[in-house]
Amino acid sequence: NPNKTFEYRIMAYGEDQLLLIIRDVSRVSQLEEMRKDFVANVSHELRTPLTVINGYLEVLSVEDEDKSPFVGKAMMEMETQTKRMQALIEDLLILSRIEASSERIYENTIDMTGMFAQVEMEAKALNKEKRHNISFKIDPDLVIFGVETEMRSACSNLVFNAIHYTPPGGTIKVLWKKRADSAYFAVIDDGDGIDDKHLRRLTERFYRVDKARSRKTGGSGLGLSIVKHVLNHHNSFLNIESKVGKGSEFSFILPPELVYEKNTHS
Ligand code: ADP
């Protein structure tokens, strides 16, 4: 039945028998699909009114030159908050798209060097205030199979987080290199670090170690959830090592079947 979804489990039963358990999970997966559709639709519908509000706020702040300091301050705050809401909606849409992604990862190769050049440019712009010492060490010959928009989203989220959660003047290293037949990516910072008790839940939607602080950084709380889904789609997973007050390392390994080395294939 094409409308049914089943889950299978095989277990050892006694000495020489196997037990096959088939569970009908159609209802659960149907509800999950409905939830995903709902989130995608709501996000999409919220986009237009927010763009209109933001547009008018921008026009008003330029046109109304005689506004009182209070009105000026209120308008600035409204602009900041609508921008935050827009960023949150964009992240929700990215997440829904990745969750529903049927794009085949083996159909396209990604020029990671070009991608990292862009991420580096954006990171340096974001870093102006914090003045971290950021270094990118990128292997130019390492090309992979995958979905570029997704990979870029994952890598930039990890780099931007390191910038946000490292006190000014910190050191951030971004590495992309070959490791055996796999490809290894890491962002290492000497920032705030994260207590062990949070690590397990960090990639859940909207999970934050310090809610007030994360809000100030302007993050949506969806960044690591996006990373988790992208990596899952690319046969990988996020590895987090961290110590409070010392710093964090967020890394992943892409398996050999996704690695396509420029030199050997040209
Ligand atoms: P946010 O939008 O809050 O940054 P994320 O999903 O990207 O959401 O991250 C979840 C939480 O993980 C953050 O709120 C922060 O507490 C913690 N975190 C993420 N990256 C780092 C890092 N490099 N150093 C310390 N804490 C981090």
The predicted complex's ipTM stands at: 0.98
Instruction: Calculate how far, in angstroms, residue 211's C-alpha sits from the geometric centre of ligand 1.
Output: 10
Query: Residue 124: is its pLDDT beyond 90?
Result: yes
Instruction: Calculate how far, in angstroms, residue 122's C-alpha sits from the geometric centre of ligand 1.
Output: 18
Instruction: Judge whether 147 and 103 are in contact, CB under 8 Å.
Output: yes
Helix (H) / strand (E) containing 133: strand 133-138
Query: Residue 236: is its pLDDT beyond 60?
Result: yes
pLDDT at res. 264: 55
Minimal-distance CA residue to ligand 1 atom 13 = 208
Q: Per-residue pLDDT averaged across 50-71, rounded? A: 89
pLDDT at res. 193: 95
Residue of higher predicted confidence among 98 and 255? 255
Query: Residue 61: is its pLDDT beyond 90?
Result: no
pLDDT at res. 255: 96
Q: Per-residue pLDDT averaged across 174-187, rounded? A: 96
Alpha helices in the chain (DSSP H): 26-63, 69-99, 112-126, 148-164, 196-199, 211-217, 223-233, 262-265
Tokens for 30? 């149907």
3-state secondary structure of 127: coil
Instruction: Judge whether 256 and 144 are in contact, CB under 8 Å.
Output: no
- Give per-residue burial for 108-138: e unless 16+ CB within 10 Å, then b: eebebeebbeebbeebeebbeebebebebeb
Cβ of 165 below 6 Å from ligand 1: yes
Query: What are 190-211's pLDDT values in tens digits?
Result: 999 999 999 999 999 989 888 7
Sign of CA dihedral 187, 188, 194, 199: positive
Q: Per-residue pLDDT averaged across 129-139, rounded? A: 94
Amino acid at 203: T
- Predicted TM-score of the model (pTM): 0.85
Q: Which residues pair with 177 in a beta bridge?
A: 184
Tokens for 228? 């988790």
Instruction: Calculate how far, in angstroms, residue 93's C-alpha sits from the geometric centre of ligand 1.
Output: 19
